[in-house]
Amino acid sequence: MLYLIGLGLGDAKDITVKGLEVVKRCNRVYLESYTSVLTVGKEALEEFYGRKLILADREEVEQNADNILKDADLSDVAFLVVGDPFGATTHSDLVLRAAKRGIPYRVIHNASIMNAVGCCGLQLYNFGETVSIVFWTDTWRPESFFDKVKKNRQNGMHTLCLLDIKVKEQSLENLIKGRKIFEPPRFMSVNQAAQQLLEIVQNQRIRGEEPGIEETLCVGLARVGAEDQKIAACTLQQMCTVDLGGPLHSLIITGGSMHPLEIEMLNQFSISEDTSESKSIDGL
Amino acid sequence: MLYLIGLGLGDAKDITVKGLEVVKRCNRVYLESYTSVLTVGKEALEEFYGRKLILADREEVEQNADNILKDADLSDVAFLVVGDPFGATTHSDLVLRAAKRGIPYRVIHNASIMNAVGCCGLQLYNFGETVSIVFWTDTWRPESFFDKVKKNRQNGMHTLCLLDIKVKEQSLENLIKGRKIFEPPRFMSVNQAAQQLLEIVQNQRIRGEEPGIEETLCVGLARVGAEDQKIAACTLQQMCTVDLGGPLHSLIITGGSMHPLEIEMLNQFSISEDTSESKSIDGL
pLDDT digits (tens, 9 = 90+) for A204-229: 888 888 767 878 999 999 999 999 99
pLDDT of res. A273: 52
Range scoring the smallest mean pLDDT among A162-171, B131-140, B190-199, B233-242: A162-171
pLDDT(A17) > 70: yes
pLDDT(B279) > 70: no
Q: Which residue of B has its CA nearest to A161?
A: B125
> Contacts of residue A18 in chain B, CB cutoff 8 Å?
10-11, 13-14
What is the average pLDDT value for chain A, to the nearest integer? 90
pLDDT of res. A172: 84
The closest alpha carbon to A124, from B30, B83, B53, belongs to B83
The shortest CB-CB distance from B99 to any of A107, A123, A268 is to: A268
pLDDT of res. A278: 35
pLDDT(B26) > 80: yes
Give the sign of the dihedral formed by CA A118, CA A123, CA A128, CA A133.
Answer: negative
Q: What is the CA radius of gyration of chain A?
A: 21
- Chains A–B, number of C-beta pairs less than 8 Å apart: 176
pLDDT(B65) > 80: yes
The shortest CB-CB distance from B90 to any of A84, A123, A157 is to: A123
Q: Which residue of A has its CA nearest to B123?
A: A90
- When scoring A4, A22, A124 by the number of chain B Cβ atoms within 10 A, the one with the most, hence best to mutate, is A124
**Closest approach of chain A CAs to the CA of B183, in angstroms?**
29
> Contacts of residue B45 in chain A, CB cutoff 8 Å?
none
**Closest approach of chain A CAs to the CA of B37, in angstroms?**
16
pLDDT-based confidence at residue A24 (cuts at 50, 70, 90): very high
Report ipTM (2 d.p.): 0.92
Which ranges of chain A would DSSP assign to H, the alpha helix? 17-25, 42-49, 58-63, 65-69, 92-100, 113-116, 145-154, 172-176, 190-206, 236-239, 260-267
pLDDT(A120) > 80: yes
- When scoring B5, B25, B49, B86 by the number of chain A Cβ atoms within 10 A, the one with the most, hence best to mutate, is B86
Whether B80 has a binding-site annotation, put simply, is no
Classify B225 as helix, strand or coil.
coil
Phi and psi, residue B32, nearest 5°: -70, 125
pLDDT of res. A27: 96
> Contacts of residue A3 in chain B, CB cutoff 8 Å?
none
> Contacts of residue A88 in chain B, CB cutoff 8 Å?
124-125
What is the mean pLDDT of the segment spanning B26-50? 90
pLDDT of res. A281: 52
CA distance A90 to B119: 9
Please report the residues numbered 116 through 135 in chain A whose beta carbons come closer than 8 angstroms to any beta carbon of chain B: 116, 118-119, 121, 123-130
pLDDT of res. A100: 94
How do B77-81 and B28-32 pair as beta strands? parallel
Range scoring the smallest mean pLDDT among A221-230, B19-28, B137-146, B205-214: B205-214
Q: What is the CA radius of gyration of chain B?
A: 21
Bridge partners of B268? none
pLDDT-based confidence at residue B281 (cuts at 50, 70, 90): low
A225/B86 Cβ within 8 A: no
Query: Identity (one letter) of the amino acid at B236?
Result: L
- When scoring A90, A94, A152 by the number of chain B Cβ atoms within 10 A, the one with the most, hence best to mutate, is A90
Residue A225 per-residue DSSP state: T
> Contacts of residue A96 in chain B, CB cutoff 8 Å?
261, 264-265
CA distance B66 to B84: 22
pLDDT of res. B180: 85
pLDDT(B283) > 70: no
CA distance A114 to A86: 10
pLDDT(A251) > 90: yes
CA distance B119 to B269: 11
Condensed to tens digits (0 to 9), the pLDDT of residues A59-84 reads 888 888 999 999 999 999 999 999 99
pLDDT-based confidence at residue A253 (cuts at 50, 70, 90): very high
pLDDT of res. B273: 52
Please report the residues numbered 203 through 232 in chain A whose beta carbons come closer than 8 angstroms to any beta carbon of chain B: 224-225
Largest CA distance in chain B: 65
pLDDT of res. A214: 78
Residues in binding site of A for S-adenosyl-L-methionine? 9, 84, 87, 112-113, 163, 224, 249
Between residues B172 and A250, which one has the greater pLDDT?
A250
Cα A26 versus chain centre, distance: 27
Residues 6+ apart with CB under 8 A from A201: A211, A212, A213, A214
A112 C-beta neighbours (distance < 10 Å), count: 33
How do B105-108 and B159-163 pair as beta strands? unpaired
Please report the residues numbered 23 through 82 in chain B whose beta carbons come closer than 8 angstroms to any beta carbon of chain A: none
pLDDT(A276) > 70: no
CA distance A125 to A31: 31
Phi and psi, residue B277, nearest 5°: -80, -45
My answer on whether omega of the bond before B248 falls inside 30° of 0, hence cis, is yes
How do A230-235 and A217-222 pair as beta strands? antiparallel
The shortest CB-CB distance from B114 to any of A20, A108, A124 is to: A124
CA distance A215 to A239: 10
Which ranges of chain B would DSSP assign to H, the alpha helix? 17-25, 42-49, 58-63, 65-69, 92-100, 113-116, 145-154, 172-176, 190-206, 236-239, 260-267
pLDDT-based confidence at residue A35 (cuts at 50, 70, 90): confident
Percent over 70 (pLDDT), chain A: 94
What is the mean pLDDT of the segment spanning A190-208? 92
